[in-house]
Amino acid sequence: MVTIGRPKSAIARRIVACALVSALVAGACTGDHESADTTTTSTAATTTTEPGTTGPGTSTARFSGIRLSKGQAIAAAAASVAVVDGAPLDQAAIDAVLARLPDWQADPSIEEAFRWPAETITKPQTGRTVDVPFPATDQVAPVEVPSGALHVLRTQPQGDVEVAPFVSITFDQPMVPVGTLGQLAADDVPATIAPAIPGHWQWIGTRTLRFDADSDVVDRLPMATEYTVEVPAGTTSATGGVLAEAVSFSFTTPPVTVQSFEPSGEGLSLEPVFIAAFDQRIDQQAVLTAIAVEAGGDPHAMRLATADEIAADPRARQIVDLVPDGRWIAFRPVDPFSPDASISIDIGPGTPSAEGPRTTLDPQHWSAHTYEPLEVVKIECAYGRDCPAGTEIDIQLNNQLDTDLFDPSSIHVEPAIPGVTVGVYGSTIVVQGATEANTEYSITVPANLTDVFGQQLGEAQTVRVDVGEPRPFLRQFAQPFTTVDPSADPPSIDVVSLGHDELRVRMFAVEPDDLPGLGQALSDLMYNRTSSSTPPWPELSDETIDVEGDAGSATETSIDLSGVLDGGLGHVIVMIETTEEYDQDDESFWMNMPAITWVQSTELGVDAFADHDEVRAWVT
């Protein structure tokens, strides 16, 4: 679906920006309103299917479709700015400049005493002071401490876990007295962890023991490891409780996993730099031994990429900059791949981790295909199988094209398309222009067309496309406010349409006081309209006009405003609609929305400057 015209937010912003200027010139604009005359002129061979925005009096058609593509930077040498070597003024020169200034005369009437800030009132303190004797006179019984055998209430983590941030063991009795962290750290710890890893135990309260790994790289236990934690039998609590049997539990952190891998897919170069990012630290040389690459079904040797090779590859360099050190591998083929070859990449099984002994059980797989000999794949229109007149024509090739070597003039189109433009976007050559309805076009691509791999097409190729009937449209006005030339005779505005034999033209009387409600009114008329939608302004005229010109070309119709502008000055809203009605689910609905603009004709000129709190205007 193609949305024609400006979105609501854009219209609202333009209305606010123009409201002040319109109000300033309103006093010079008065009007006496009669019905409007119309004339039509045809814009020759300017066929389009997507309404754009043009100003009054223009007849340029913009072709349908929106294409977002990677742009090409234009290298331009920056112009150097000449620096003037100045010389400091001597005191005589400074005195001569100051002598030209008028005498400073202070005005006693504006003198005021210095306004000292008022003393800050002390903020009252919340709450109240309660006197309590110390030590307390009431005798409070000590807290009852559990006695009997010691038990382990809870352990974590357990089983297979994605990540193990720490290990904790909670007992049902106090294990240490209340004291400082240093005092508690000096006590023996009633637990062991295997395999032994750098870390420290600490008490969280008097009943919970926690182990944290010591690492400057990660804040968790090492991955790819199976751990066993044991609290031995005979462990004694601070209250004398004894653990009757040893308590042990185990947990496992996962082996290494590839989180991202590039490049893959079609159009692979012959000497690519593959780069894989992992979820944990690795040893690159060890991981390389677990990588298997096949080209055309045969094993192909790999080696680690050098720092220079990584720096020369934009995508590899970007990934290396984003991924933490030690968690990526960059490798490339020892010998170049062959063109047009299927590439299979497996990492694993048996991929090792630098954090623990566990390795992967299953491989992770990617596939790619080296670039093929350059050829034209297909030709199509950007929008619609029927290829309506005015839409762009796309010639699709199988490889990315070298934009630096591409010459638009080398693309030959027969018959010639008025206003033709030729561009290249990735692997697509785009031909735009005022294509004629019901016409077959032949487009010849030259033999020296070159892709990013340095390959050429080899021989010229001609492709053909049949262009059908254009899609009707009504082009929106360029701005929600239009200022016409008061010296024009007669004053008029122009609207561009295609595929419509007639248009409904309505005009409404407005004054600057109508500006506040304009945005909502325009939104309702354009986006929530029905056949019975009624604008909120007094109607001056309502007539249906004929649109002359070639039915297959965009036609510019001029609407005479002299009948509704008194002496060529004043304000009026012009609303132009198609006589056909379209369902909102129909693509044509958005291409044929009403064209509405607030027209003002004035002999005043306004320069306005605004900052954060005021607007300054000069009216001439």
Same domain, 285 and 356: yes
The total domain count for the chain is 4
Q: Is residue 313 part of a domain?
A: yes
Same domain, 477 and 600: yes
Q: Is residue 617 part of a domain?
A: no
Examine the fold and report which residue of 252, 275, 291 is the final residue of a domain before the chain moves on.
252
Q: Is residue 441 part of a domain?
A: yes
Q: Is a pLDDT exceeding 80 seen at residue 296?
A: yes
CATH number for the domain including 309? 2.60.40.1220
CATH number for the domain including 224? 2.60.40.3710
In this prediction, residue 390 carries a pLDDT of 79
Q: Which two tokens stand for residue 431?
A: 């031909």
The sheet that has 555-560: what strands, in order across it? 38-42, 555-560, 492-498, 473-474
Q: Is a pLDDT exceeding 70 seen at residue 30?
A: no
Q: Is residue 98 part of a domain?
A: no
Which H or E run includes 462?
strand 461-467
CA distance 488 to 507: 19
Domain coverage including residue 366: 258-370
Q: Is a pLDDT exceeding 90 seen at residue 234?
A: yes
Distances (CA, A) of 200 to 197, 217, 416, 496: 9, 16, 80, 78
Q: Is residue 526 part of a domain?
A: yes
Same domain, 522 and 579: yes
Same domain, 486 and 584: yes
Same domain, 569 and 483: yes
Q: Is residue 77 part of a domain?
A: no
Q: What is the largest CA-CA distance in the chain?
A: 110
Same domain, 578 and 530: yes
Q: What is the mean pLDDT of the chain?
A: 84
Same domain, 271 and 334: yes
Q: Is a pLDDT exceeding 80 seen at residue 339?
A: yes
Examine the fold and report which residue of 316, 350, 370 is the final residue of a domain before the chain moves on.
370
Instruction: Show Cβ contacts of residue 376 under 8 Å, excluding neighbours closer than 6 positions.
Output: 395, 396, 397, 445, 457, 461, 463
User: What's the pLDDT band for 69 if we cut at 50, 70, 90?
Assistant: low
In this prediction, residue 62 carries a pLDDT of 38
Same domain, 350 and 294: yes
In this prediction, residue 134 carries a pLDDT of 85
Of residues 501 and 181, the one with the higher pLDDT is 501
Compute the half-sphere exposure of residue 508: CA atoms within 13 Å on the CB side of its CA. Answer: 18
pTM, two decimal places: 0.57
Same domain, 482 and 574: yes
Same domain, 604 and 476: yes
Each residue's pLDDT tens digit, 181-211: 666 665 689 999 999 999 999 999 899 999 9
Q: Is residue 439 part of a domain?
A: yes
Same domain, 177 and 242: yes
User: What's the pLDDT band for 587 if we cut at 50, 70, 90?
Assistant: confident
In this prediction, residue 185 carries a pLDDT of 66
Q: Is a pLDDT exceeding 70 seen at residue 5?
A: no
Examine the fold and report which residue of 252, 277, 307 is the final residue of a domain before the chain moves on.
252
Q: Is residue 403 part of a domain?
A: yes
Of residues 612 and 6, the one with the higher pLDDT is 612
Same domain, 300 and 215: no
